[in-house]
Amino acid sequence: MSATKKNKGYVGTTVDRLKQKKNNVKKVAFVDFGHRGDTSSDLLQVLKRASVKQQIKKSNVVFLTIGANDLVHVLRTHFLDLKAVYFTEQEHVFNANFNEILEEIRKLNPKTTIYYFGLYNPFEDYMGSSNNKLVDTLKEWNRQSEVTLKKYPQTTFIPTYDIFYGKKRYPFI
């Protein structure tokens, strides 16, 4: 996730709030390895970089915000002919990648806490009747992500779908 001055995203906002907790938190350092548009496959490549491995090895906390662009890939590729099977195929790819991502992070640092921010629907106001299918897909991907996280110690799923549901403006996009 990219953090800008105007819009810092989940992680940037969390870092700012932690820095305000001077009594409880001694030091906060934030390194963002994400790029707008990254998919889970892209993150697997990022995790191969020596500099990234080094940062993960010394981290106390890792925030993951991955998966939305895997879904967007399906929407872009099959926009005029959306079928559930395309989402299911991509879900299998994402699940395999997500598991590999978690394995790699855990291998690099068995003690770090991993927080995964679940998916929400930024297209709620634009998808019309297709929105219901996307909502079901998002809920299933989130459910499966929770199941995967439970296989790893010190991981937490943070739901975001309900935070944004029914909102016209998405503050973290």
Per-domain boundaries in the chain: 1-30, 38-164
User: Average pLDDT in the 121-150 region?
Assistant: 79
Q: Give the CATH class of 38-164.
A: alpha beta
Q: Locate tokens 């909102």: which residue? A: 167
Residue 171 has pLDDT above 50, yes or no: no
- Using CA atoms, how far apart are residues 95 and 136, in angstroms rounded to an integer? 16
What is the distance between the alpha carbons of residues 162 and 61, in angstroms, rounded to a whole number?
A: 24
pLDDT for 160: 85
**Mapping DSSP to helix (H, G, I), strand (E, B) and coil, where does residue 77 land?**
helix
pLDDT given at position 98: 98
Mean pLDDT of all residues belonging to the chain: 83
3-state secondary structure of 61: strand
Place of tokens 């926009």: 79
pLDDT for residue 45 is more than 80: yes
Average confidence (pLDDT) over 137-153:
94
- What global pTM score does this model have? 0.83
Q: What is the amino acid identity at position 29?
A: A
Angle at 58 between CA 66 and CA 11, to 5 degrees: 35
Highest-pLDDT range among 6-20, 64-78, 136-150, 152-166: 136-150
Q: pLDDT tens, 80-118? A: 677 778 888 999 999 999 999 999 999 999 999 999 999
pLDDT in tens, 61-78: 999 999 989 988 888 887
Query: Cβ neighbours of residue 116 under 8 Å, at least 6 residues apart?
Result: 64, 65, 66, 145, 149, 155, 156, 157, 158
